[in-house]
């Protein structure tokens, strides 16, 4: 698998590490059980999935990659901070 | 079967004879031979014994599909079993041995397995010998392993090296037959960057093995012309001896280049093999096709060969595979074998074709040889080599024909497995009588015989079309290629997969000895799905992956179940397409090079002082520095600790992670990632910080100093440096991108030394000279200063891990070794010693500081006695979850100090805590000993541990139970700080 890093260009998967679902939002402090869900619960999606990847062996950017978990087809890659601001 | 070298012809170099040995006998071949062609040229027909039944086997094919002719190649450390004689290039001094025979190839005791064949039927390892289990382990399995073998691996260390490399291209062309050559030429002429990967040692594919002409030239000559043009194109790279074995995501292809396998030993500085990642925007798969056999009785006898292989040996290698060669073909293509043999003066015993009619031009290829139309070969006979075949006609009458080779052709199977590596399946074509690629991996198109377009004209046209399509898709301009004249061969073929009338054992999978009867048994027992059939009978599961057996096997299953071939389905092919040595996947990552080794700047200095080293993550750190006369580590470590506590010592602590943070919002950011407060840290001061994970567990600790209003430097533990960096970047980029700061790892930019001991200030004063004020007022405990050492920028922190008056001094990494020397010089009169990680560890345990053993991924701040550090004035990572009832339960194991009641006894890390009278079982487990050291200060062993209700149990006597070492000793629970609990010394 290769990821088209917006800063570095197309790079091999070994340069990146994976974190998981980019759809989760860090809740407000003391949000109770919502916080437990944020830390522990993730959907196991078969299909299109927006997820965090870290270009640790490259520019150190955190990226949001939209990927089909079945085919590894990648539909989009963007900086995570841009996604957060949006 | 008695093959011989033909008087002329072939692409071998008859001027370059090559000596080699097989089973201890010397033979001669020529440069350009494979082991198989050279053996056939020497009349060697019997080359191995089969896997289960130890039946005699000969060369079956002329390529990578070979199921039979597997040999042990080379000697000693380079011995490699299961090498295909059909692809192994001959070199001078080559040594090969047959496999699976004992005591000799001609007389094999275990051939008696044939008599026991009912035991070895399909599913034998599922139902035979299942009970009693003890006999399976002790008796049956060793017996079967000895009987059913695939050669012996060298158990010695592989003396060769392997490499990995990556190459990028616009268009990858897999295969260099007519389709591949034209695809490469069109894309190359258009200007695309092209890589041509060819498994064989010359380019040309089937063109090398056929006699028909292209543009009025023999195939090999035409190939040479195209190759010359490709080589002249700077944008084209030709990779011979390179097999593409897998298609991966993102246009990545795995390929293995056999760099030195055609040589006796690899040349100096060359690897044996090189594993390639080929990254291509477009790919043309032109891997050709593999001829399909027909299954009949005794079809495994040495001398029964693929018709195309017989042609390859005659045309490419100048070898007649036998003296009297019969041809059994279900299509037009097999007749060409008869034609080519007759042209070379080889006797063709008969041509047998189940079709009742063939085109006159095809019929003419048999010349004056006997022709049996509407007939089939029922059985082949001959103990160690083919002697005769039984041919049965449509009316049921039969005739026996003498022959030493039978060339068999049942049509062609496209080599399209690479096209199915992304989960797609091939589709059966009733017109081509073959599985053709359907949906293909992204960017991959299939050309020529691999797509079922078997004629040369079709292959050439496919290559031009797909080469241009690939180039145009990438923005290049299409090139036109003048029409190529080819002889027009026909490929009509009739469906015949096996001869049901066979009277003797008929083999479907030659390598795994799977017979038609095995498939019938699987069908009767309900294993009808192809995936079940495969696993139950092991059909197609040998190292050849069923390249010559899968289609026949499932066609037979289709017939048995009354279904069509598409209804029966096909198994999925997975990478690797051909076996790849583990060594190639490992590449250079073996032994000490398995992972990178990081060396601190003072490494060479420490080596010169005789240090003993220890791996901490990727780092190699000095563990202790033995002095002359010291023979055990404890003596050295104890001396180092005493020297530090009595005077001064220096220790390289550069491996700790260092992260520089700059910007107006660093303080606010640190407040959110550390559990304690940092925005209030004054400039010129450092503070110990505790970092939690979002789930409330402690992640890391270290000190962070504020060097200027908007400039901080953080330290992390050695092990977690990368993890913390990644975490901080996540927090900044994902959680709080609105905070204005930047950060960068500077671990490798600064060399840092701890200078510890009551004389440390004096030492540093000598180093810096009288112009620098190092007094307690100027550099108090937890101060952080930037200053100059000569003209070098330096940082001085007053930090103490040892509990003594201590500092850490940092300089740019290139001055690290010089600083180590300068520190020792400056401390010469103060009894300074270098100390290693062991002494560092002893002093931190004496002081009750937690480290990696206690920060074990399950401990909370409270568990470590650091609960008061969790700020209640702000939010921070982990705050919410750290408040969960389970994480604040006072009964959780928490940090305590431990001493043996009998001071002479040694403590053991990992020992579990039990109440004095508790039974040693898991239910009574009260925690465990995390760290133990011998304390020179106290003169006995001390420990740290995590004990349930620990802080309330100071003074209690409990047991430290070590089941692994059989020790069970009484220990006293004490506060974690064993030495100088008031902290008087570090403020000295
Ligand atoms: Zn990047």
Report the percentage of chain B scoring pLDDT > 90. Answer: 86
Cβ contact, residue pair B734, A62, below 8 Å: yes
CA B634 to each of CA A26, B616, B835, B978: distance values in angstroms, whole numbers, following the listed order: 50, 20, 13, 19
What pLDDT was estimated at residue B126?
59
Q: Tell me, what's the ipTM?
A: 0.97
| Lowest mean pLDDT segment, chosen from B187-201, B235-249, B583-597, B713-727 | B583-597
Dihedral of alpha carbons B536, B537, B542, B544, sign: negative
Residue A61 Cα to ligand 1 midpoint, Å, equals 6
Which CATH number is correct for B654-751+857-883, 1.10.3720.10, 3.30.70.141, 3.50.50.60, 3.30.70.1400?
3.30.70.1400
- Judge if the upstream peptide bond of residue B103 is cis by omega within 30 degrees of 0: yes
Residue among A13, A56, A62 minimizing CB distance to B733? A62
Contact B956, B892 (CB under 8 A): no
What pLDDT was estimated at residue B490?
83
Q: What is the pLDDT of residues A31-41, one digit of tens each?
A: 878 999 999 99
Contact B93, B265 (CB under 8 A): no
Q: Which residue has the higher pLDDT, B130 or B269?
A: B269
Question: Which CATH architecture does the domain made up of B890-988 adopt?
Answer: Beta Barrel (2.40)
Instruction: Taking residues B729-747, report their average pLDDT.
Output: 97
A41 touches chain B (CB under 8 A): no
Distance CA(B988)–CA(B981), nearest Å, equals: 14
Distance CA(B462)–CA(B839), nearest Å, equals: 72
Instruction: Taking residues B137-162, report their average pLDDT.
Output: 72
Report the percentage of chain B scoring pLDDT > 70. Answer: 95
A60 touches chain B (CB under 8 A): yes
Contacts of B66 (CB under 8 A, 6+ apart): B36, B59, B60, B84, B85, B86, B87, B544
pLDDT at B147 over 60: no
Q: Which residue has the tokens 């600064």?
A: B750
Instruction: Note the CATH number of domain B291-411+491-568.
Output: 3.50.50.60
Dihedral of alpha carbons B663, B668, B674, B676, sign: positive
CATH 3.40.190.10 fits B4-119, yes or no: no
How do the domains of chain B map onto residue ranges? 4-119, 162-289+414-473, 291-411+491-568, 654-751+857-883, 890-988
pLDDT at B104 over 80: no
pLDDT at B148 over 90: no
Q: Euclidean distance between the first and final Cα of chain B, in Å?
A: 96
Q: Which domains does chain A show, CATH number per domain? A: 2-84 (3.30.2270.10)
Burial of B422 (0-12, 13-18, 19+ CB in 10 A): middle
Cβ contact, residue pair A19, B730, below 8 Å: yes
Q: At B504, give phi and psi (nearest 5°).
A: -115, 175
Distance CA(B676)–CA(A46), nearest Å, equals: 41
Q: At B566, give phi and psi (nearest 5°).
A: -60, -35
Interior CA angle at B823 toward B820 and B824, to 5°?
Answer: 90
Contact B33, B94 (CB under 8 A): no
Number of other residues whose CB lies within 10 A of the CB of residue B93: 11
Nearest residue to B333 via CA among B349, B310, B317, B314: B310
What pLDDT was estimated at residue B713?
98
B133 falls in which pLDDT band (50, 70, 90)? low
Q: What is the pLDDT of residues B422-471, one digit of tens each?
A: 888 889 999 999 999 999 999 999 999 999 999 999 999 999 999 999 99
Distance from CA of A62 to the nearest CA of B (A): 7
Distance CA(B468)–CA(B446), nearest Å, equals: 13
Per DSSP, the three-state class of B55 is coil
Residues of chain B that touch chain A, judged by Cβ-Cβ distance less than 8 Å = 166, 248-252, 277, 279, 422-423, 442, 694-695, 722, 725-726, 729-730, 733-735, 737-738, 875, 879-881
Burial of B771 (0-12, 13-18, 19+ CB in 10 A): exposed
Q: At B145, give phi and psi (nearest 5°).
A: -65, -35
What are the tokens at B238?
Answer: 């030709």
Per DSSP, the three-state class of B417 is helix
Q: What is the pLDDT of residues B808-852, one digit of tens each?
A: 999 999 999 999 999 999 999 999 999 999 999 999 999 999 999
User: Fold identical between B162-289+414-473 and B291-411+491-568?
Assistant: yes
Q: At B182, give phi and psi (nearest 5°).
A: -70, -35
pLDDT at A86 over 50: no
B143 falls in which pLDDT band (50, 70, 90)? low
| Lowest mean pLDDT segment, chosen from B395-404, B561-570, B788-797 | B561-570
What pLDDT was estimated at residue B925?
96
Q: Which residue has the tokens 């550390």?
A: B674
User: Using a CB-CB distance cutoff of 8 angstroms, which residues of chain B are in contact with residue A62?
Assistant: 729-730, 733-734
User: Using a CB-CB distance cutoff of 8 angstroms, which residues of chain B are in contact with residue A52?
Assistant: 730, 734
B141 falls in which pLDDT band (50, 70, 90)? low
Q: What is the dihedral of CA B159, B160, B164, B169, to 10 degrees?
A: -170
B383 falls in which pLDDT band (50, 70, 90)? confident
Q: Which residue has the tokens 């700080």?
A: B977
Q: What is the DSSP string of B171-232?
A: EEEE--SHHHHHHHHHHHHHT--EEEE-SSSSS-GGGGT---EETTEEHHHHHHHHHHHHHH
What pLDDT was estimated at residue B543?
84
**CATH superfamily for domain B162-289+414-473:** FAD/NAD(P)-binding domain (3.50.50.60)
């Amino acid at each position: 698998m290769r990821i088209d890093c917006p800063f570095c260009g197309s790079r091999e998967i070994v340069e990146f590490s994976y974190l998981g679902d980019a759809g989760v939002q860090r809740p407000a402090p003391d949000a109770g059980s919502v916080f437990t869900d944020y830390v522990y619960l993730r959907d196991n999606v078969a299909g299109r999935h927006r997820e965090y990847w870290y270009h640790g062996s490259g520019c150190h950017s955190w990226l949001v990659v939209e990927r089909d978990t079945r085919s590894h087809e990648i539909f989009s890659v963007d900086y995570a901070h841009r996604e957060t601001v949006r | 079967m008695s093959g011989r070298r033909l008087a002329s012809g072939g692409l071998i170099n008859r001027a370059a004879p090559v000596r080699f040995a097989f089973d201890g006998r010397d033979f001669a071949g020529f440069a350009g031979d494979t082991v198989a062609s050279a053996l056939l040229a020497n009349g060697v027909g019997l080359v191995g014994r089969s896997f289960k039944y130890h039946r005699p086997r000969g060369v079956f094919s002329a390529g990578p599909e070979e199921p039979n002719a597997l040999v042990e190649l080379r000697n000693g450390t380079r011995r490699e079993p299961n090498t295909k004689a059909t692809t192994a290039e001959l070199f001078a001094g080559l040594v090969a041995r047959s496999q699976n025979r004992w005591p000799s190839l001609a007389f094999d005791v275990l051939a008696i397995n044939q008599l026991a064949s009912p035991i070895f039927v399909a599913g034998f390892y599922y139902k035979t010998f299942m009970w009693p289990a003890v006999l399976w382990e002790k008796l049956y399995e060793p017996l079967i392993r000895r009987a059913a073998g695939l050669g012996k691996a060298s158990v010695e260390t592989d003396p060769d090296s392997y490499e990995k490399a990556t190459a990028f291209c616009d268009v990858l062309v897999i295969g260099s037959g007519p389709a591949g050559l034209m695809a490469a030429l069109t894309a190359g002429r258009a200007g695309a960057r092209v890589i041509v990967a060819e498994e064989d040692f010359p380019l040309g594919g089937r063109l090398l093995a056929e006699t028909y002409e292209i543009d009025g030239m023999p195939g090999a000559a035409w190939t040479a012309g195209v190759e010359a043009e490709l080589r002249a194109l700077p944008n084209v790279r030709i990779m011979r001896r390179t097999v593409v074995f897998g298609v991966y995501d993102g246009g990545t292809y795995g390929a293995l280049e056999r760099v030195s396998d055609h040589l006796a030993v690899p040349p100096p500085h060359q690897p044996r093999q090189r594993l390639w990642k080929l990254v291509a925007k477009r790919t043309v798969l032109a891997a050709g096709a593999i001829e399909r056999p027909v299954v009949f009785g005794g079809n495994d006898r040495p001398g029964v060969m693929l018709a195309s292989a017989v042609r390859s040996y005659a045309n490419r290698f100048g070898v007649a595979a036998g003296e009297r060669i019969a041809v059994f073909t279900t299509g037009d293509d097999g007749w060409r074998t008869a034609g080519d043999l007759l042209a070379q003066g080889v006797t063709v015993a008969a041509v047998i074709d189940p079709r009742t009619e063939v085109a006159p031009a095809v019929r003419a290829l048999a010349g004056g040889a006997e022709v049996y139309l509407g007939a089939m070969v029922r059985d082949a006979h001959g103990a160690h080599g083919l002697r005769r075949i039984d041919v049965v006609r449509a009316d049921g009458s039969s005739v026996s024909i003498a022959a030493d080779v039978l060339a068999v052709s049942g049509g062609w199977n496209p080599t399209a497995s690479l096209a199915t590596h992304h989960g797609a399946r091939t589709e059966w074509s009733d017109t081509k009588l073959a599985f053709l690629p359907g949906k293909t991996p992204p960017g991959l198109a299939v050309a020529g015989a691999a797509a079922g377009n078997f004629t040369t004209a079709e292959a050439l046209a496919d290559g031009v079309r797909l080469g241009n399509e690939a180039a145009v898709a990438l923005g290049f301009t299409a090139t036109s290629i003048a029409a190529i004249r080819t002889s027009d061969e026909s490929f009509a073929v009739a469906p015949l997969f096996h001869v049901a009338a066979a009277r003797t054992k008929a083999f479907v999978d030659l390598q795994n000895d799977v017979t038609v009867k095995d498939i019938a048994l699987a069908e009767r027992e309900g294993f009808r799905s192809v995936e079940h059939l495969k696993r139950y009978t092991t059909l197609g599961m040998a190292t050849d992956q069923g390249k010559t057996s899968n289609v026949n096997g499932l066609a037979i299953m289709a017939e048995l179940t009354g279904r069509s071939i598409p209804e029966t389905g096909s198994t999925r092919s997975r990478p690797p397409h051909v076996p790849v040595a583990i060594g190639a996947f490992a590449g250079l990552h073996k032994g000490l090079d398995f992972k990178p080794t990081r060396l601190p700047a003072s490494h060479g200095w420490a080596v010169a002082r005789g240090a003993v080293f220890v791996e901490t993550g990727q780092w190699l750190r000095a563990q202790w520095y033995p002095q002359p006369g010291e023979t055990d580590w404890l003596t050295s470590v104890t001396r180092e600790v005493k020297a530090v506590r009595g005077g001064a010592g220096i220790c390289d602590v550069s491996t700790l992670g260092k992260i520089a943070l700059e910007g107006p919002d660093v303080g606010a950011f640190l407040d959110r990632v550390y559990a304690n407060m940092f925005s209030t840290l004054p400039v010129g001061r450092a503070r110990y910080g505790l970092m939690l994970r979002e789930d409330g567990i402690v992640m890391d600790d270290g000190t962070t100093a504020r060097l200027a209003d908007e400039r901080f430097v953080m330290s992390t533990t050695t092990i977690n440096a990368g993890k913390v960096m990644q975490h901080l970047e996540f927090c900044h980029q994902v959680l709080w991108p609105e905070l204005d700061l930047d950060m960068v790892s500077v671990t490798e930019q600064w060399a840092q030394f701890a200078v510890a001991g009551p004389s440390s200030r004096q030492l540093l004063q000598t180093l810096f000279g009288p112009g620098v004020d190092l007094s307690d007022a100027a550099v108090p405990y937890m101060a952080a200063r930037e200053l100059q050492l000569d003209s070098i920028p330096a940082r001085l922190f007053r930090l103490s891990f040892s509990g003594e008056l201590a500092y850490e001094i940092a300089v740019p990494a290139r001055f690290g070794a010089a600083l180590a020397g300068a520190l020792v010089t400056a401390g010469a009169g103060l009894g300074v010693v270098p100390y290693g990680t062991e002494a560092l560890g002893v002093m931190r345990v004496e002081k009750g500081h937690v480290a990696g053993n206690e920060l074990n991924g399950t401990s909370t701040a409270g568990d470590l006695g650091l609960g008061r550090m969790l700020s209640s004035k702000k939010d921070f990572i982990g705050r919410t979850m750290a408040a969960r009832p389970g994480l604040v339960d006072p009964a959780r194991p928490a940090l305590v100090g431990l001493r043996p009641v009998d001071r002479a006894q040694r403590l053991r890390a990992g020992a579990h805590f039990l109440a004095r009278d508790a039974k040693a079982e898991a239910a009574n487990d009260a925690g465990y000993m995390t760290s133990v050291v011998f304390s020179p200060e106290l003169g006995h062993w001390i420990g740290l541990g995590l004990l349930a209700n620990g802080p309330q149990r100071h003074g209690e006597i409990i047991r430290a139970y070590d089941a692994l070492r059989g020790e069970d000793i009484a220990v006293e629970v004490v506060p974690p700080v064993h030495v100088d609990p008031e902290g008087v010394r570090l403020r000295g």
